Amino acid sequence: TDFGFSKVKEADKEKQVKAVFDQVAPKYDLMNDVLSFGMHRLWKQYAIDRAEIQPGMKVLDIAGGTGDMSLLVQKKLSGTGEVWLSDINHEMLKIGDERLKNAGYHPYVLTCDAEYLPFPDGYFDVLIVSFGLRNMTHKDRALREMQRVLKPGGRLMVLEFSKPVALMRPFYDFYSFKVMPFLSAKIAGHSENYRYLAESIRMHPDQKTLAKIMREAGFERVEWKNLTFGITALHIGYKN
Ligand code: SAM
């Protein structure tokens, strides 16, 4: 037995994730552009194009934060179907809600933990988790929930930092452990949060392991595509 220590660690992680996103929320969009040199926009657009969203579909943006993915989905649906922007963090959602309204869209906005999705079985055609999965304490539980709320024939898109190809790694390590904390301290004023970012990326399962975890949660025909030398990967899983 671990005398309950793992529970304490889990509670700590949840608190830490909340504190990080409470603090970064106001500068989140700016920091994404700066730290990824704008590349996150290309990765997100690629994921949305691969989602094959058709008019009338119901789409859930999980850990949707400030709403980047929901915005792109809304454009594809052009007023039809349903878009649900969800996140566990109210501060991030508030910004997302406002951005979408300013762009003339009215998605459903919902505060919820991805490990407990308040939807009936088989409700959604497409699920999207963009840079959210690595923050979840029980990825297996969250993925099983996603599998449950997905319609047979539907697909899950997981966009997440991943393991870069070997040649890239020295540059990547230097960038994420030296340059990134420096830049974020300069711009956002708290490098600690971005150290969390670098560490959470390192802890996250690599491409192959994530595919396995998705299969274990019930997804079929799981495939992935490396983006920018595997700095990011898009995993797609289907429900039969
Ligand atoms: N999807 C957005 C994007 O791609 O820009 C935001 C990604 S942001 C890096 C990660 C988000 O995951 C945060 O808004 C955080 O609140 C959310 N998050 C963390 N744990 C979560 C959980 N268990 N359930 C739902 N959202 C969660």
- Residue with the bigger pLDDT between 211 and 186: it is 211
Written as six digits, the tokens of 110 are 């919902």
Q: Tell me the percentage of the chain whose pLDDT exceeds 90.
A: 77
Distance 132 CA to ligand 1 centre (A): 4
Scanning the structure block, which residue is given the tokens 């933990």? 113
For ligand 1, pick from 45, 85, 87 the residue to mutate: most ligand atoms within 8 Å of CB: 87
Residue nearest to atom 5 of ligand 1 (CA): 68
Q: Tell me the percentage of the chain whose pLDDT exceeds 70.
A: 97
E strand or H helix at 57, and its extent? Answer: none
Whether the pLDDT of residue 1 is over 50: the answer is no
- What pLDDT sits at residue 114? 98
Averaged pLDDT for residues 62-70: 98
User: Is residue 183 in a domain?
Assistant: no
Question: Is ligand 1 within 6 A of the CB of residue 88?
Answer: yes
CATH number of the domain where residue 234 is located: 3.40.50.150
Give 83's strand partners.
Answer: 59
User: Is residue 196 in a domain?
Assistant: no
Q: Which residues contact 210 (CB under 8 A, 6 or more apart)?
A: 133, 158, 160, 162, 204, 224, 233, 235
Question: Is ligand 1 within 6 A of the CB of residue 201?
Answer: no
**Predicted confidence band of residue 8 (pLDDT cuts 50, 70, 90):** low
Written as six digits, the tokens of 51 are 């989602």
Whether the pLDDT of residue 197 is over 60: the answer is yes
Residue nearest to atom 17 of ligand 1 (CA): 63
- What pLDDT sits at residue 7? 57
| Secondary structure class of 123 (helix, strand, coil) | coil
Averaged pLDDT for residues 137-164: 97
Whether the pLDDT of residue 6 is over 80: the answer is no
**Residue 131 structural domain:** 5-164+205-238
Whether the pLDDT of residue 190 is over 90: the answer is no
User: Is residue 191 in a domain?
Assistant: no
User: Is residue 180 in a domain?
Assistant: no
User: Is residue 170 in a domain?
Assistant: no
Whether the pLDDT of residue 2 is over 60: the answer is no
In whole angstroms, give the CA distance from residue 158 to residue 179. 27
User: Is residue 54 in a domain?
Assistant: yes
- What pLDDT sits at residue 11? 77
Question: Is ligand 1 within 6 A of the CB of residue 136?
Answer: yes
CB 160 within 8 A of CB 231: no
User: Is residue 176 in a domain?
Assistant: no
- Residue with the bigger pLDDT between 197 and 125: it is 125
User: Is residue 198 in a domain?
Assistant: no
Question: Is ligand 1 within 6 A of the CB of residue 92?
Answer: yes
Give 225's strand partners.
Answer: 234
Residue 111: phi and psi, rounded to 5, are: -85, 115
In whole angstroms, give the CA distance from residue 62 to residue 65. 8
| pLDDT digits 0-9 by tens, 102-150 | 999 989 999 999 999 999 999 999 999 999 999 999 999 999 999 999 9
Averaged pLDDT for residues 49-53: 98
E strand or H helix at 31, and its extent? Answer: helix 28-35
- What pLDDT sits at residue 182? 87
Whether the pLDDT of residue 157 is over 50: the answer is yes
Mean pLDDT for the chain? 93
Helix axes 180-187, 191-203, angle to 10 degrees: 140
Distance 17 CA to ligand 1 centre (A): 9
Whether the pLDDT of residue 72 is over 60: the answer is yes
Question: Is ligand 1 within 6 A of the CB of residue 65?
Answer: yes
How many domains is the chain built from? 1
Whether the pLDDT of residue 3 is over 70: the answer is no
Averaged pLDDT for residues 32-51: 96
- Say yes or no: ipTM exceeds 0.90: yes
